[in-house]
Structure 1
Amino acid sequence: MIIPIAIAAGSPLLAWRNAVYIAAGFAGVVALALLLLQPLLSGSYLPGLRLRLGRRLHAWVGGAIVAAVLVHVGALWITSPPDVLDALLFDSATDFSAWGVVAMWAVFATALLAAFRSRIRLILWRLCHVVLAATIVVGSVVHALLIDGTMGLGSKAALCALVLVAAAKVITDLRLLADLRRLAGRRVAR
Structure 2
Amino acid sequence: MTGWRSVRVVLIWAALALAIGVPIAAAAGSELLAWRGPIYILAGFAGIVALGLVLLQPLLIGGYLPGLSAYRGRRAHHWIGGALVVAVVIHVAGLWFTSPPDMIDALTYASPTPFSPFGVTAMWAIFVVALLASLRRWLGLRLRTWRFIHMPLAIVIVTGSVVHCLLIEGTMETISKAALCVLVLAATAKVMIDLQVWRKRRTLRGESPAQQ
Same fold? TM cut 0.5 = yes
- TM-score of the superposition, structure 2-length normalised? 0.82
Hey, what's the Cα distance between the residues in 2 that align with 1:32 and 1:161?
Answer: 11
Q: Distance in 2 between matches of 1:158 and 1:133?
A: 20
1:149-185 residue CA offsets vs partner (Å, 9 max, x unmatched): 1111101100000000000000000118968xx9xxx
- Aligned match of 1:123: 144
Partner of 2:122: 103
**Distance in 2 separating the partners of 1:176 and 1:91:** 41
Determine if contact 1:39/1:170 at 8 Å carries over to the other structure: yes
Residue 165 of structure 2 is aligned to residue 135 of structure 1: no
Residue 192 of structure 2 is matched in structure 1 by: 171
2:167 paired residue among 127, 135, 146: 146
Partner of 1:175: helix, strand, or coil?
Answer: helix
- Runs of 5+ unmatched residues, structure 2: 1-19, 204-212
Q: Give the TM-score normalised by structure 1.
A: 0.91
Dislocated runs of 4+, deviation >3 Å: 176-179
Instruction: Return closer, same or farther for 1:95/1:178 CA change in 2, 3 Å cut-off.
Output: farther
1:176 to 1:151, Cα distance in 2 relative to 1, 3 A:
farther
Q: What's the Cα RMSD here?
A: 1.5
Distance in 2 (CA, whole Å) between partners of 1:144 and 1:37 is: 17
Structure 1 unpaired stretches of 5+: 183-190
- For 1:186, the equivalent position in structure 2 comes to none
Q: Quick check: which has more Rg, 1 or 2?
A: 2
Corresponding position of 2:34: 15
Partner residue in 1 for 2:10 = none
Conserved 8 A contact 1:76-1:84: yes
Cα 1:112–1:15 shift into 2, 3 Å: same
Q: What is aligned with 2:44?
A: 25
Distance 1:82 1:141 in 2: 24
Query: Residue deviations 1:128-149, cap 9 Å, x none?
Result: 1111111000000000000001
2:66 aligned counterpart, secondary structure: coil
Whole-Å separation in 1 of the counterparts to 2:120 and 2:144: 27
